[in-house]
Amino acid sequence: MSTGDHGPRDGSATQARRALVVGEALVDVVARPDGTREEIAGGSPANVAVGLARLGRRADLLTWLAPDAAGDLVRRHLEGAGVHVLAGDRAPARTSVATAHLDAEGAATYDFDLEWDLPDAWDGDGDDPLVVHTGSIAAVLRPGGARVADLLEQRRGTSTVTYDPNLRPALMGEPADVLPVVERLVRTADVVKVSDEDLAWLLPGIAPAEVAEEWSRGGPALVVVTHGGEGAFACTAAGARLQVAAPRVRVADTVGAGDSFMAGLVDGLWSAGLLGADRRDALHDVAAATVEDLLARCARIAAITVSRRGANPPRTDELDDPSVLAAVLADPPA
């Protein structure tokens, strides 16, 4: 797909050709089954910003970091990946921490010590981004969650809005309390990516495809449900229903897999010239074949990510090199 005039990947993009990612950046303590622990920068929206930067996009991150050692660790990681961390007029007393407990298969469960809010003003806010993305803790946790929802509604007039619920039951309370928050953001969003695990917790007993179809009738142009190693299902407001398989790879862990998929989805829509409020009608009319190509590429991105330890999404040159994926396939071709 051609990048057209919606942002070259070589760094020469105009200031307006950017993504604004809004949400938490924090320290992830990864606790592995062998008893080892590692402190790394994390947070779902921060991982999406890194994924976009790795794919050659300008990504600005509006987040909530303290001026402490943990915050410095996170900033170094983000800026080293090419993410521009926006400076705000307020900051928390300490940087948040999430502990990811990995099981023998590499799947993660989390507990948290964090707070979330937004600054009242920040730098780099003089031009309209093509796309504004949010999700996970930042979209739910008070006091910042409601302010994020307001910000997305304000930005909808100039930008595509994308949303990944990426729910954290240990932190967010009861599904009945979270559902209205999620539904408000779904109605605001142009693109929603949600995991089958999120939907099983949020709306138990309802088939993920049924939820996706209902959501696609309420505002979004595209709703994607990821099914881990089984691939992804998508439905569009134009009526397309399609599914793609995921490559079978040797899994190191699943940390950041959904975030890298989300970054790939934004990047693919960017390349297709479907981002920006002026492209909303075109996005609602997107062809099924375009979506299928996008999802297959996102599945490759996520597959490469899970083959590595931690949230370590591929760069464009790695994604475009067939040998990178071939090297981590669980059943490589003869």
Q: Tell me the CB-side half-sphere exposure of residue 85, using CA atoms within 13 A.
A: 22
At 84, list the tokens: 């521009």
3-state secondary structure string across 183-223: HHHHHHCCEEEEEHHHHHHHCCCCCHHHHHHHHHCCCCCEE
What number of other Cβ atoms are within 10 A of residue 329's Cβ?
14
Domains of the chain (ranges; CATH) run 19-326 (3.40.1190.20)
Mean pLDDT, residues 40-49: 94
Q: Is the dihedral of CA 9, 14, 16, 20 positive or negative?
A: positive
In what side-by-side order are the strands of the sheet with 26-31?
A: 37-42, 26-31, 97-102, 108-113
Check residue 78 and give its pLDDT. Answer: 97
What is the per-residue pLDDT across 171-212, written as a single tens digit (0 to 9) for each? 899 999 999 999 999 999 999 999 999 999 999 999 999 999
| Coil, strand or helix at 42 | strand
What is the per-residue pLDDT across 95-139, written as a single tens digit (0 to 9) for each? 998 887 888 887 878 778 888 999 999 987 778 999 999 999 999
CA distances from 271 to 19, 203, 293 (A): 13, 33, 12
d(CA 228, CA 205): 19
